[in-house]
Each structure stands twice: as C-alpha cells, then as structure tokens.
Amino acid sequence: MLFDLPVGTRKERKAAAGFRLKLLDLGFEMTQFSVYLRFCAGKEQAEAFQRRIEQAMPAAGKVHIIAITDKQYENIRTYRGRNREQGPKNPEQLALF
C-alpha cells in the first residue's frame, strides 16, 4: 500500500500519524516512508484488510492499495546503493489453534 497524505497543518499531521499507527496495529510493516506491506493468506483476507484500511483513511490525501501474488513478491529485486540485497521471502503461513 502506498499513500500520500497532507501534513501542512497540525490536524493533518495528527490524522496522518494516526493512519500510520493504525497500519502498524493491523500488522503492516513500513518498507519505505508512506509504503507499507502486509502478507495476506488469500484474496478474502486481503479484501478484509482493504475494508479496514478504507475505514481508517483520513478525509484528505491519496491511498493506493496494490495486491501482488506470492510469485511476484518473490521476484522483487532490492538494491541498497548499487549493491543488490537478497530477495524477500514469503512469510511462513501461520495457523492459529
């Protein structure tokens, strides 16, 4: 998920910070500023998180929700400077009993 939220006023900064905290509470991790990721076990779970994000969105700003498959995630190439880092691994699927 990517977002660009206004932060010109104190109220806007508070709304943006609250949105970021909600994403962390939902289990997202920040990969870059305003870029957050979360693994979902399937389409239904991804749609449920989409609804939660929609409810948490501030009134102003832009939010993009992008779903990629496990295979697409594995094919991400990451560089730090000109050095390529090891590719991301899909998280282990958790089973709750």
pLDDT at residue 97, as a whole number: 39
Taking the domains of the chain in order of start, what are their residue ranges? 2-85
pLDDT at residue 95, as a whole number: 44
* pLDDT per residue as tens digits for the range 45-61: 999 999 999 999 999 99
**Residue 14 confidence (pLDDT) above 90:** yes
Q: To the nearest whole number, what is the mean pLDDT of the chain?
A: 89
> Where is average pLDDT lowest: 20-24, 26-30, 40-44, 56-60?
40-44
Question: Under a CB-based contact definition with an 8 Å cutoff, are residues 90 and 73 in contact?
Answer: yes
* pLDDT per residue as tens digits for the range 31-49: 899 999 999 988 999 999 9
